[in-house]
Amino acid sequence: MPEQKNGFATLAAGGLAAILASTCCLGPLLLLMLGFSGAWIGNLTLLEPYRPVFIGVALVALLFAYRRIRRPVSACQPGEACALPQVRTTYHALFWLVSALVLIALAFPYAAPYFY
């Protein structure tokens, strides 16, 4: 079965885009939490100009994943992954996890000054 049919590819794309969107701000914070320090940490904002692009990709991927995952069971062919209750539950959980990552990526730059 192709990966595009079951919605996993769009969830993975959304998760990857969310992680890339938050690397500019979350990366230095994680390094500080691990004990790394120095003035060079302030130079780790290489991906900051691309943050809006990554967020846009994440939101579009989440939109497609939402449409694919929330379709009714009657629209699935018997034997497809979307017709199995366990798979549907797993995809719903993954969707909300990825949605939370995107929300963190959107909100983190505004909350980051409180952590430094």
Cα distance between residue 108 and residue 63, in whole Å = 21
pTM for the complete prediction? 0.59
Q: What is the Cα–Cα distance from 7 to 74, expressed in whole angstroms?
A: 16
The answer to whether 10 touches 65, Cβ cutoff 8 Å, is: yes
Q: What is the pLDDT of residues 20-73, one digit of tens each?
A: 766 666 666 677 777 777 666 666 666 677 778 877 887 888 888 888 888 787
| Cα separations in angstroms, 88 against 31, 71, 76, 80, 95 | 36, 10, 11, 11, 10
